[in-house]
Amino acid sequence: MSTSTTEPVRDSESVRASEPARGSGDAPELTFDVLVIGWGKGGKTLAATLGGAGKRVGMVEQFDTMHGGTCINIGCVPTKTLVHDAEQRREDDDAQQFWARAVERRDTVVGKMRDVNHHMLADLDAVTLIDGRARFTAERTVQVTGGDDVLTASADVVIVNTGATPTRPDLPGIDSPRVHDSTSVQHVDPLPARLTVIGAGPIGLEFASMFAGYGADVTLVNRRERLLPDEDEDVAAEVTSVLEGDGIHVLHEASAVRIEDGAGSGNSTASEDSSASGSSSASENSSASAVVVLRVGSEERRIEADAILLATGRRPATDDLGLEQAGIDVDERGAIVVDEHLRTSAENVYAIGDVHGGSQQTYLSLDDFRIVLSQLQGDGERTTTDRVAVPTTTFLTPPLAAVGLTAGEALAAGRDVLVASQKTATIKAMPRPKAVGDPRGIVKFVVDARTDEILGARLFHVDAQEVINLVALAMRTGTTATQLKNGIWTHPASTESLNETLGKLEPLEG
């Protein structure tokens, strides 16, 4: 199959607007049982499953570099590959060379996974791949454009799976070549000696932690009074302490006003709040910089940087999809409105993944696949309301994982609450973080005092991204805090924190 991004293509040959059309009109016309727009986790899994069952499936993707979806190409997999490599760097490693090798490995991992994902659909006879930009012209009909070439595709069922894109605030100077989003910063060259991250949500926190690991002098701009304002204060304080201990300068109640050109080199002072690290991480060949002008409280402050990362969130990618032509409703943020079965306002049109708003997680897109498959081939009973105790992980070093209620949320809900909280370094039954050289963090559980039900957990430690899945499963299956406390776990393992921490539950007064 051709992988041109300038032509809409079908199977092994290009379909051009000038070729004879099948049906009426000038553009070639393709018909399918199911048409999927966007090659994300849920979309590709649905296409593979239905195509494998003999359904005629069309898969439209705007860019050949996105075959496989956001997660494997520019999201979860490449960023966590870079996070892992940052954790392997030692002080005497040349940071610039180390970064270059890490980016090369990132690209190798992505390339292999993209190829596998491409073939999972391209090798199915019932699936047709179409590269180009889709736009609805009717309820279940789209026009796909690539360069000067156009084709029309229609189907009995259409799945919109176009994901989300980074938001870009309207700031003077935002078009500076020094400004990056979460995609472009993965290939920033050279490694910036000074990086300013605007936005302290999960993406901002992850990249700040990661680039600090590579040796960059990082300033994190947080518009709130503290980091993680939705978390309990002790958890947020521990995360802040770890980030600051890694040399990250956190500015609270700060917002960007504008971005200006700077004249400094990569070796000049990092900011008026801190000095540059002075290590070989500095991009010594840098000849220019940018200045981020901030409002911090009532003061204006200027931060000089070699690179700026905008981590101000992501929004559903629905611009210019022609949704109004299909009768598909969107909300005020541009997210496609769906019901609990992921049905849109248009008949037999579904929306899955980040495009319908809510939590943007690959594993939720996979669950969206299950819900839609239940509609198309099952009993139709599976819905979004079935989701209970969905965990999340922010891949700091160490990772911060969460599931369920915070202590504050549980009290506000009127629950009688027991809480257990321990610094990771103090948990005697959990030697693994010490063994691997990173005992930082905190473990916190919230338990219903009457039922022994686990209401929530915050795990900030080595292996937290794995242990949180066990806790989430316990919450979904009704496994009690006492049962987890008395569980038999391998040794040494981070899971052993459950034995000790859940033995320290105490009442929490409102």
Which residues are known to be catalytic? 491
Close Cβ partners of 167 (under 8 Å, ≥ 6 residues apart) = 310, 312, 313, 314, 315
CA distance 388 to 372: 18
Nearest CA to 159 out of 136, 182, 177, 181 is that of: 136
Q: Distance of CA 35 to CAs 13, 155, 328, 383, 437, Å? A: 19, 6, 16, 21, 50
CA distance 335 to 317: 8
Buried b (16+ CB within 10 A) or exposed e, 95-134: bbebbeebbeebeebbeebbeebbebbbebebbbbbbbbb
- Backbone phi and psi for residue 412, each to the nearest 5 degrees, phi listed first: -65, -25
Residue 228 burial class via C-beta count within 10 angstroms: exposed 0-12, middle 13-18, buried 19 and up: buried
Q: Tokens for 184?
A: 């472009």
Nearest CA to 335 out of 358, 313, 312 is that of: 358
Beta-ladder partners of 314? 166
Buried b (16+ CB within 10 A) or exposed e, 279-318: ebbbbeebeebbbbbbeeeeeebebbbbbbbbbbebbbbb
